[in-house]
Structure 1
Amino acid sequence: MYQEERIIGILQFLKDHRRISVEQICEKFNVSRDTARRDLVKLEDRKAIVRTRGGAILPSSHNQVKNYSHRLKTVSSEKQRIGKEAATMIHDGDRIILDTSTTVQACANHMGAIDCTVITNSIHQAESLSNKEHVNIQLLGGQLEKEHRFLYGTSVIERLKKFNVDKAFIGVVGISEKGLTIAHEEDGMVKRNMMEQAREVIVLADHTKFGTTEFFQFASLDDVDVIITDKALDYQYQKLMDDHHVQLIVTERFN
Structure 2
Amino acid sequence: MYQEERLQGILQHMQQHHRISIEDICELFEVSRDTARRDIVKLEELGKILRTRGGAIWPTLNKEVSSYGDRLQSEPQIKQAIGRLAASLLKNGDYLFMDASTTVLHAAEHIRTEGHVLVTNSIDIAGILYERPGIDVHLLGGKVHPRHRFIYGARTLDMLRDYQADKLILGTSGITPDGITNPYEEEGYAMREMIQRADQVIVLADHTKFGMRQFFRVAGLESIDILITDREPEERMKEALLQHDINIMIAAI
TM-score by length of 2: 0.81
Aligned equivalents of 1:78, 1:97: Cα separation in 2:
22
Corresponding residue of 1:90: 90
CA contact (8 A) 1:113 1:133 kept: no
Aligned equivalents of 1:19, 1:39: Cα separation in 2:
21
What are the ranges of 5 or more consecutive residues in structure 1 without an aligned counterpart?
A: 31-37
Distance 1:132 1:39, change over 3 A: farther
CA contact (8 A) 2:62 2:213 kept: no
Deviation at 1:20, TM superposition (A): 4.7
Aligned equivalents of 1:247, 1:113: Cα separation in 2:
22
Corresponding residue of 1:35: none
CA contact (8 A) 2:63 2:183 kept: no
Distance 1:55 1:63, change over 3 A: closer
TM-score by length of 1: 0.81
CA contact (8 A) 1:203 1:226 kept: yes
Corresponding residue of 1:63: 64
Aligned equivalents of 1:115, 1:6: Cα separation in 2:
56
Q: Deviations over 1:25-76 (max 9, x none)?
A: 7xxx89xxxxxxx99977643425336899832465632331x244334552
Corresponding residue of 1:156: 156
Corresponding residue of 1:143: 143
Aligned equivalents of 2:20, 2:84: Cα separation in 1:
34
Deviation at 1:7, TM superposition (A): 8.3
Deviation at 1:221, TM superposition (A): 1.1
Corresponding residue of 1:33: none
1:133 aligns with 2:105: no
CA contact (8 A) 1:18 1:212 kept: no
Aligned equivalents of 1:39, 1:241: Cα separation in 2:
40
SS at match of 1:203: strand
CA contact (8 A) 1:72 1:102 kept: yes
CA contact (8 A) 1:203 1:228 kept: yes
Superposition pairs for residues 133-212 of structure 1, below 5 Å? 133-212=133-212
Distance 1:59 1:110, change over 3 A: same
Aligned equivalents of 2:148, 2:187: Cα separation in 1:
10
Distance 1:238 1:59, change over 3 A: closer
CA contact (8 A) 1:225 1:245 kept: yes
Aligned equivalents of 2:208, 2:74: Cα separation in 1:
15
Aligned equivalents of 2:224, 2:195: Cα separation in 1:
8
Distance 1:149 1:9, change over 3 A: closer
Task: State the superposition RMSD in angstroms.
Answer: 3.0
SS at match of 1:228: strand
Aligned equivalents of 2:191, 2:143: Cα separation in 1:
15
Distance 1:113 1:242, change over 3 A: closer
Regions of 4+ moved over 4 Å: 5-10, 38-44, 51-55, 58-61
Deviation at 1:208, TM superposition (A): 0.3
Aligned equivalents of 1:108, 1:59: Cα separation in 2:
30
SS at match of 1:217: strand
Corresponding residue of 1:213: 213
Distance 1:101 1:18, change over 3 A: farther
Aligned equivalents of 2:226, 2:37: Cα separation in 1:
37
Q: Deviations over 1:175-229 (max 9, x none)?
A: 1133111111101110000110001111101100001111111111111111111
Corresponding residue of 2:122: 122
1:45 aligns with 2:41: yes
Distance 1:237 1:61, change over 3 A: closer
Deviation at 1:11, TM superposition (A): 3.6
Identity over the aligned pairs, expressed in percent?
33
Distance 1:138 1:222, change over 3 A: same
Aligned equivalents of 1:118, 1:105: Cα separation in 2:
13
Superposition pairs for residues 211-250 of structure 1, below 5 Å? 211-250=211-250
Q: Deviations over 1:100-159 (max 9, x none)?
A: 010000000011142211110111111100231111111111112222222111111111
